[in-house]
Amino acid sequence: MLAENDAAIREAVHKDLNKHPQELMVGESGVLKQECIDAIKNLDKWAANRSVKTSIVNKFDNVHIRKDPLGVVLIIGAWNYPLNLLLAPAVGAIAAGNTVVLKPSEVAPNTATLLTRLLPAYLDQRAYRIINGSVDETTLLLEQKFDHIFFTGSGNVGKVIMAAAAKQLTPVTLELGGKR
């Protein structure tokens, strides 16, 4: 998707953030392409069962750690890196066998619109969805049960995400900073 739609991606991110193509390559699409390459290259190793040492009690048992997908992951992206901070976590979630709901930032509408158009051509819509909107749509999303929530953005919104996740006992990954 990134290679086939490079010009459209550059145009959308430039319209949203006025990013120079070099900055886009270094901080967004280049990093994201490398995430995809790393996931493909290492997927078998990451997914493989791992044997563990046992005590005398389990000496004759075959004890190992098996990695299972979490389930449905909600990823809420950030405005300042609208491609990378939405899709890089999705690469990891997909590599781990999860289904994903993507919520791009409404502050980068051109990138969100482009991804909404492109992603269905590259990802199975039965397992991966993109939801657009602002506070109301995000609030409705957070009322749903997810198996993990990944959010990048401000600490204030992070508190809202954490409170909503706590109601469902949903684990979260919060990458906080953002504008104040």
The one-letter amino acid code at 26 reads V
Find out if CATH 3.20.20.70 is the number for domain 6-44+65-177: no
Placement of tokens 């389930």 in the chain = 71
CA atoms within 13 A on the CB side of 73: 23
Angstrom CA distances, 30 to 24, 63, 148, 163, stand at: 8, 40, 26, 34
- Residues in contact with 180: Cβ distance below 8 Å, sequence separation at least 6, in sequence order: 154, 156
- Domain boundaries along the sequence of the chain: 6-44+65-177
From first to last of the 180 residues of the chain, give the pLDDT tens digit: 999 999 999 999 999 999 988 888 888 999 999 999 999 999 999 999 998 888 888 888 888 899 999 999 999 999 999 999 999 999 999 999 999 999 999 999 999 999 999 999 999 999 999 999 999 999 999 999 999 999 999 999 999 999 999 999 999 999 998 555
